[in-house]
Each structure stands twice: as C-alpha cells, then as structure tokens.
Amino acid sequence: MTNKPTIYLDYASTTPVDPRVASKMMQYLTPDGEFGNPASRSHRYGWKADDAVEEARSHVANLVNCDPREIVWTSGATEADNLAVKGVARFYKSKGNHIITSKIEHKAVLDPCRQLEREGFEVTYLEPDEGGTIHPKQVKEAIKKNTILVSLMHINNELGTLNDLNAIGEITREAGAFFHVDAAQSTGKVEIDLSTLPVDLMSFSAHKTYGPKGIGALFVRRKPRVRIEALIHGGGHERGMRSGTLAPHQIAGMGEAFRIAKEEMKDDHAKVKAFHKKFLDEAMKIEHAYVNGDLNNKVPNILNISFNFVEGESLIMGLKDIAVSSGSACTSASLEPSYVLRALGRKDELAHSSIRFSFGRFTNNEEIENTLSILHNVVDRLRELSPLWEMHLDGIDLDTVKWDTH
C-alpha cells in the first residue's frame, strides 16, 4: 500500500490535462512558438495567434454544433455563468426583473443571482425532486410576465443528474424569456446540439474535459439574438462582451480538448459506464448505502453515495489513498452539509455521510477494484467506531432520539 500513488476519482472536480492538449498548448508560449497577441493586426505573430484562437473556437463550436461566432472566451465556467446571468439581467432589466433558477445550481449561478437580488431583481429558486431533477412543469408554473431569464444546469455536479433542456427551452421560448444553461459537466459526456436545442446561452469549462484550468466559454445565440451587458471592459475584445487580451495557449488547449472530446466521446462513455456499473454493484453490497440522484436519469461518470452511520469527512480521511469529494460540512468552511443533498430532502446525517466518486478517461479497472476493497474496509472500521452504528445494531431508531443539536 505504501508509495502507491493516490487513486484519482474526482474527475467531476477537475480532470488532468490530456497530454495531447498540453503539447498543443506548448506551441503558443515560447520565443520559438506562436506567442503573439491575437489582437495584433500588424504582423504575423498576431495573425498566427489569431489563427490559433479561431481554430480553437471552431473546435468548441463543433462539439456543441453552433456557429463559432457564438462562442465568447471567458476565464472559465464561473465567469461564463456570471456573464450570462448578470449580463442578460442587466441588459434586459427594462423588460422585466424576474429570474428563475434552482436550489441545486452551482454557486457560480447562485451567487450572481444573490447579487441581482441586491440590485432589485426577484429570483425564484425551484426545488428539485428527490432524485435531483427539475421538471419542465415547475418552470412553466414559475414563469411570470416579467420573467426575463431561466438559468438551470444541464448536469448536476454533485449528483450527475440531468435536466430536460429541450422541454424547458420550449417553455422559455414560448414565454419570451431567455434560457441559460450551465453545461460545465456536460462536454464530452453527452451530446449537445445547439442547432436544435432551444437554449440561448450555455457555459462551458475546459478543465472538466481534459483541458487546462483558467479557460472557458459562453455560447451566446445569434438567432434569435441575445444581448448581454459586459462585466469586463477594456478594449472591446470578443465583440465587446469580454475584454482582455486572449490567452492563445489556454484557448488552444480548450480547443484541442474539445476536439478530442468529440472524437472520443463514445469510447470515454463506454468505459466510464462499465466502471459505474461495477462500482455501483459492489458498493451497494455495503449495508445502508444509498445512491443520491436518480439512477435512471444521470450520467455514469458521477456516482454519489451516502454511507449511513459514518461521517463523510472521516470516510474521506480513511480513504487516504483515494481522491474523492464529500458532501460533508467539514470539507467546506461552513457547518452545513451539501446544500444540494439537503435540497433533495435527504436527512442531514445522510448528507454528512455522502461521497462523490467520479470517473474519467484515465481511470482503470485496477483502480476501481482497489477503491472498492478499501471502501468496504474503511466503512466497516468507521462503523466500529460509530456510536450511531452501535445504536442502530441495538435496534434504536435514530429518528426517535432527541438530539441536543448545536
């Protein structure tokens, strides 16, 4: 066990850069490479850098089937979400001031919504069902005359559950509201066809799809046209929507990562699906383990499981040779367990006991097997240590105990 590298099962958090992507990025940095500023129009250094940026833009557009002119580079999905939510709200505030989102969005959408509330906008936060899905019907019921924007994620980052973009988009179209989708977890995992999807804005991240951190993009539809107010001013780059010198090495990296994603999506998916099945079958042999998120409506690369009677953070510490994430409070600065799991109506103790396993392109069978055997062992040991497990074995129903909450 010693000196073995830590097994990485946290692909939903970030992925390593594919070596093919890294070598592409290296071409745009050094004196012997194309290091120019793509905005320089007066010499070949600039032209070459611009070529690289536009080639990458085509690769990104190609993966999601949109026009390259609809892609705006940002520093990542967080900035893309901010630009979409705040940009649309502020541009169209004379049309209305109501926004619809959900309780299980990423903070990159929730925090901008909070900011807009401070600016006088009204935000409706839809509740997911217990499987982690937002239903089109809920959107329809929440839409008002003054609704200007609906922002919902495609794939939930903690659960892997999917929203029905087509049905929701049809509702927003009919209501005359814009539809923004955070698709940070989607690229290379599921097919996205923006030529048919009724989506107006979509956020992307490079580093969830084997590209570098620090680069992302926002799709801004041209027909029917969506206008946004910029967040960053200073030179009018990206057709005024996002100023600042473009980073060709980052952009080329994202382009290459998305080009590969398109080519290898089928293989990646088949591989991850097999890991998911094996992991689920084996992990569910542990008593009182519960999957969070509807198994019939989720992607196979994310698997979120609660192990009742053990606390998630101690489980993560016990799984020290495995890199995973927990919905437990101790891994974040607050005492609250995952707001996503709580929104599903999971009891706090189950939210505290949750672990997110996420698989990816470089995961192998041996890693899955080792993780499963370590997992069984550590859960058993922590339960030996757990007064709650002892009470459970004694036949005490923990729900009937009056706890002194602090």
Partner 1 sequence: MAYSKKVVDKFENTLKNPEAFNVGRFDPAEGNIGTGMVGAPACGDVMKLQIKCEPSGNTHVIKDVKFKTYGCGSAIASSSELVEMLIGKTLEEA
Binding residues for partner 1 (CB under 8 A): 309-311, 313-314, 316-318, 320, 328-330, 335, 337, 347-349, 352, 378, 381-382, 384-390, 398, 403-406
Distances (CA, A) of 68 to 65, 290, 299: 9, 43, 27
Closest CB to partner 1 among residues 91, 290: 290
Distance CA 270, CA 213 (A): 26
As measured in angstroms, the least distance from the Cβ of 79 to partner 1 is 28
* Shorter beta-carbon distance to partner 1: residue 387 or 395: 387
Q: How many CA atoms lie within 13 A of 122 on its CB side?
A: 9
Rounded least distance, CB 108 to partner 1, Å: 24
Q: Cβ contacts of residue 270 below 8 Å, gap of 6+?
A: none
Of 284 and 317, which CB lies nearer to partner 1 in the complex structure?
317
For partner 1, the closer CB: 23 or 377:
377
Is the CB of residue 389 less than 8 Å from the CB of residue 37? no
Closest approach, Cβ 6 to partner 1, in A, equals: 12
Active-site residue, 113 included: no
Q: Please identify, using beta-carbon distances, which residue of 1 and 366 lies nearer to partner 1.
A: 1
Nearer to partner 1 (CB atom), residue 157 or residue 354: 354
Task: Label residue 370 exposed, middle or buried (CB < 10 Å: 0-12, 13-18, 19+).
Answer: middle
CB-wise, 265 or 388, nearer to partner 1? 388
Least Å distance, CB 370 to partner 1, is 18
Q: Are 231 and 85 in contact (CB under 8 A)?
A: no
| Shortest Cβ 14–partner 1 spacing (Å) | 17
Query: To the nearest whole angstrom, how small is the minimum distance from the Cβ of residue 314 to partner 1?
Result: 5
Cα(52)–Cα(85) distance, integer angstroms: 29
Q: How far is the CB of 16 from partner 1 (least distance, A)?
A: 20
| Catalytic choice (190, 330, 388, 398) | 330
- Residues with active-site annotation: 330
